[in-house]
Structure 1
């Protein structure tokens, strides 16, 4: 057996010791106030980026590209992973978490510009991203490096996922939908690991957001407006 998994088991004992008394209030049900949709990238620590150590506080969803949609016989709909806490646990805030240097956005960019050859499972995921990112690629400034272009498309992707939630009849209008980017590559002005708010309920103009949300104005920052 791989030593990495054995190490995980040892760490789980530490977790179980530390968390032993923290599950008492969530034995019978969960009512998380927030659902997060993160990229399933090993560098994005879905609970830890918020300093969370409370079971029942966050309903976490993860997939490549922090997507909120899926294809069904009815067409493209909001994923049940995201809808479940909204529909059944009283969750009223959704946070879409993109991140700098996103591999899924990088692959989507490559697929749209040069074409890629991926296994069917990965192609299916890219098919959920590329139609939404194509207009963003066309709108990018011509003088960007590839890395800079990808980070701007990360914002564009978060915006599109927020739009899908705000525009869905399955998501009540009372639910707050927030788009953020997690930066561990010194792309934004803050420290490594900071979350930067780029979209609230479909509004993505930084000046408008700062005026509307003064309590978090120092956390509102975008690389790109379009």
Structure 2
């Protein structure tokens, strides 16, 4: 047997022992408090970043680029992964979670500026992101360093995903939509692993957000006011 698989199963045994009684109330249904849309990245600890260890609390989705957008035969729509808890489990909070140094944003930036040759599956994902990030690439200063450009586009991407969710007729008005960035690269003024709020229901102005939400003032930050 693969040693890695053995180690994973050993870790799962510890998990099962610790969580044995935590599934009692959610065995037959779920009413998660929030749906989070994270990037599929091994450095993004999707539930652990929130300190969550309760089954049923968060409905966690992930894909490269933390996309809420899905292409359908009739055009772009909110991804079914994201829409399911909103439509069927009474979830009224959605959180789009970008992260510093995002590989999907980097690849989209490179594809828009130089062109890339990626396998079809990856190219499909990038093709969903490209039309939404292209205006942001045009707004970047000419002299900006690459890492700084990527992290600004991470914010821009989160804003576009929040905008798409907020504007969708499939998402009820009472659903709160937040945009945040998970920072493990010291890009923001904070500790590694902290989450920074950059968008609340489409509002992106830092001063306005801090005035409206003084209880989290120190966690409201942006790198880019474009």
2:206 aligns to what?
206
Structure 2: stretches of 5+ with no match in the other structure: none
> Is 2:136 the partner of 1:136?
yes
The count of residues paired between Structure 1 and Structure 2 equals 226
Q: Residue 4 of structure 1: CA displacement? A: 1.5
Question: Counterpart of 2:223 in 1: which secondary structure?
Answer: coil
Q: Residue 2 of structure 1: CA displacement? A: 2.7
Structure 1: stretches of 5+ with no match in the other structure: none
Distance 1:205 1:140 in 2: 18
> Is 2:3 the partner of 1:23?
no
Runs in 1 of length 4+ with deviation above 4 angstroms?
A: none
Distance 2:163 2:88 in 1: 22
Distance 1:136 1:81 in 2: 26
1:145 aligns to what?
145
Q: Residue deviations 1:2-24, cap 9 Å, x none?
A: 32221110000000001011111
2:3 aligns to what?
3
Q: Residue 216 of structure 1: CA displacement? A: 1.1
**Stretch moving more, 138-147 or 37-46:** 138-147
**Stretch moving more, 208-217 or 129-138:** 208-217
Distance 1:77 1:137 in 2: 23
Distance 1:63 1:74 in 2: 22
Q: Residue 171 of structure 1: CA displacement? A: 0.3
2:111 aligns to what?
111
1:194 aligns to what?
194
Question: Counterpart of 1:148 in 2: which secondary structure?
Answer: helix
Question: Counterpart of 1:65 in 2: which secondary structure?
Answer: coil
Distance 1:87 1:202 in 2: 21
Distance 2:93 2:72 in 1: 24
TM-score by length of 1: 0.99
